[in-house]
A and B are shown apart, each in its own frame.
Chain A
Amino acid sequence: MWNKAIRGINRTVENLTALFLAAMVVLIFLQILMRLVMAKSFSWTEEAARYLMIWLTFLAASYGFRRGAHVGVSVIVERLPMRFQRWVQAVAGLVCLVFFALLVIFGFELMDRSMMQHSPALNFPMGYVYSVIPISGILMALNLIDVLIRTIRTGRGGERS
């Protein structure tokens, strides 16, 4: 049940981020075409593309953590005896969890306090734009908990490492 749900969520998030990246390409390419061919520019394409980039950054971070894509220094931990390695990994995981919790709590606060602020071009409440931060915090935490559980059970967690 849990495994299936996580896999389903990640697959959806993957597709979403791929779609966002594709949309960024279309928007900016459109911006160039409109200017060169029609001698007319949209006022909102750049902003939309920028926000899509930030959305995909936060969202993709969730499956990135699962696959161990995020850069770290593992060389020192790997030299420790197996028994210590597990402990250190657990502490590192806990630090990450605290970070995700902060993203959720303060991301929500930022979102809540920015509902009256409007984005310059799209005139869209910034609160909605910021909503990706707490949402991604939850997704990242879900993936990390899953990896941690596996690490504790088997000593191996991520898909890649």
Chain B
Amino acid sequence: KSDAGDGEIVLKVGHIAPEEHSYAKGFNQFAEAVEKETGGKVKFEIYGNGQLGGEREIIEQVQLGSLDMTVVTAGPVGNFVEEFSVLEMPFLFRDLDHVYKTLDGEIGQELMGELEKAGFKALGIWENGMRHLTNNKRPIRSPEDLKGMKMRTVENDVYVETYRALGADPTPIAFPEVYTSLQQHVVDGLDSSYGVFHSTKLYEVQNHLSEVGIYYAAAPLLMNKDKFESLPEDVQQVLVEKGREFAEVQRQINQEMEKEQKEDFIKKGGKVVEAKDLDLEAFRKAVQPVYEKYRDRFGDMVERIEAVK
């Protein structure tokens, strides 16, 4: 079915996002643009909504070549290419401008090069957005407010250490149990992007959201490297061009959606503490022990990212 003759190329894509998530919206537009630009030579078969498995599994499938392409959150990518985990250091970026200057510049190129060594061709770095703190206890304005709060996290030492440094009690809980754990108060809150917070209905069981931007969740657009190299050069070129172009489009989509999702949350009775009403300096200061412990893991990368102006 996939090699439909006439030199038509079918690329199989998997991701975990539901249709109304910015990954899906961004990818659908990217696919349309590529199909058009190649005169219909390239077609996409998209399996969204986690139909082919979770993110670690999907990255593995792209690496092993059973899937051609995915757009996936940077977190699990760090298990395949450790350098990528530097993006998960807490409060690493000053703002989104800092993020884009870093990822669209030399450092972004370097990270994408690391991915090639592991058998991936990175076509661009998209996004899931800033991760904020949510809970059902009280508004969080400074690390003081987090004291003793049970925060859900994934099993990752940097995340866990970050919450400890902020005075919270990090509690690893598997994603399928998050909703009920919040509902039944096994944990009080979590960090999440607006997109995930909204598409997984977590707002039903959380009343407070603080726009601290604890991490930036990047989302590389990955392709199996051998598959990429097997394609005709003109097709390769279109993929690379459109991958970069639609990084900007997808970020735009994501940010517009975040605005709507925020309004929707407030309309449903949620309370939002915006960045200007937060003591961000106190947060940054509090996580210094995390940097002391893990900064060396990434060579001089942390300094170089901090130096991006």
- A121: B residues at CB distance < 8 A: 155-157, 172
Q: Is the CB of A123 within 8 A of B157?
A: yes
In the complex with contacts A113-B64, A121-B155, A123-B157, A41-B82 CB distance below 8 A: no
- B148: A residues at CB distance < 8 A: 39
Cα distance, A117 to B153, chains bound together (Å): 21
- B159: A residues at CB distance < 8 A: 43
- CB-defined interface of A75-91 with B at 8 Å, one 1/0 digit per residue? 00000000000000000
Cα distance, A118 to B56, chains bound together (Å): 11
Q: Is the CB of B171 within 8 A of A35?
A: yes
- B301: interface (CB < 8 Å): no
How many residues on B have C-beta within 8 angstroms of the other chain's C-beta atoms?
23
Sample (25) of A-B pairs whose CB atoms are under 8 Å apart: A35-B171, A39-B169, A43-B153, A43-B155, A43-B159, A43-B160, A43-B170, A43-B172, A46-B172, A46-B174, A113-B63, A113-B64, A114-B60, A116-B80, A116-B118, A117-B60, A117-B79, A118-B82, A119-B79, A120-B79, A120-B154, A120-B155, A121-B155, A121-B156, A121-B172
- A114: B residues at CB distance < 8 A: 60
Question: What residue in chain B is nearest A38 (Cβ atoms)?
Answer: B169
- B154: A residues at CB distance < 8 A: 120
- CB-defined interface of B148-175 with A at 8 Å, one 1/0 digit per residue? 1010011111011000000001111010
- Considering only residues 20-49 of chain A, those with a C-beta below 8 Å from chain B are 35, 39-47
B interface vs A, CB < 8 Å? Answer: 56, 60, 63-64, 76, 79-80, 82, 118, 148, 150, 153-157, 159-160, 169-172, 174
- CB-defined interface of A49-89 with B at 8 Å, one 1/0 digit per residue? 00000000000000000000000000000000000000000
- A120: B residues at CB distance < 8 A: 56, 76, 79, 154-156
With a 10 A CB-CB cut-off, give which of B118, B159, B160 has the most chain A CB atoms.
B160
Cα distance, A59 to B170, chains bound together (Å): 33
Question: What residue in chain A is nearest B75 (Cβ atoms)?
Answer: A120
A41-B171, A43-B157, A44-B155 known, 13 other contacts, Cβ within 8 Å: A35-B150, A35-B171, A43-B155, A43-B172, A46-B155, A46-B174, A47-B155, A113-B64, A116-B118, A117-B60, A117-B63, A120-B154, A126-B79
Cα distance, A126 to B156, chains bound together (Å): 15
Kindly state the interface size class of chain A when it binds its partner. Answer: 20 to 34
Which 8 pairs show the lowest CB-CB distances between chains A and B?
A: A121-B155, A43-B160, A41-B171, A43-B155, A118-B79, A47-B155, A117-B80, A39-B169
Cα distance, A123 to B155, chains bound together (Å): 10
Question: What residue in chain A is nearest B153 (Cβ atoms)?
Answer: A43
A106 to nearest B CB, angstroms? 10
- B160: A residues at CB distance < 8 A: 41, 43
Question: What residue in chain A is nearest B85 (Cβ atoms)?
Answer: A118
A51 to nearest B CB, angstroms? 12
With a 10 A CB-CB cut-off, give which of A43, A47, A110, A116 has the most chain B CB atoms.
A43
- B80: A residues at CB distance < 8 A: 116-117
- A113: B residues at CB distance < 8 A: 63-64
Question: What residue in chain B is nearest A31 (Cβ atoms)?
Answer: B172
Cα distance, A44 to B153, chains bound together (Å): 12
B290 to nearest A CB, angstroms? 13
- A116: B residues at CB distance < 8 A: 80, 118
B156 to nearest A CB, angstroms? 6
Q: Is the CB of A35 within 8 A of B169?
A: yes
Cα distance, A40 to B153, chains bound together (Å): 13
Cα distance, A45 to B60, chains bound together (Å): 23
Question: What residue in chain B is nearest A44 (Cβ atoms)?
Answer: B155
Cα distance, A120 to B77, chains bound together (Å): 10
A133 to nearest B CB, angstroms? 14
Cα distance, A121 to B171, chains bound together (Å): 13
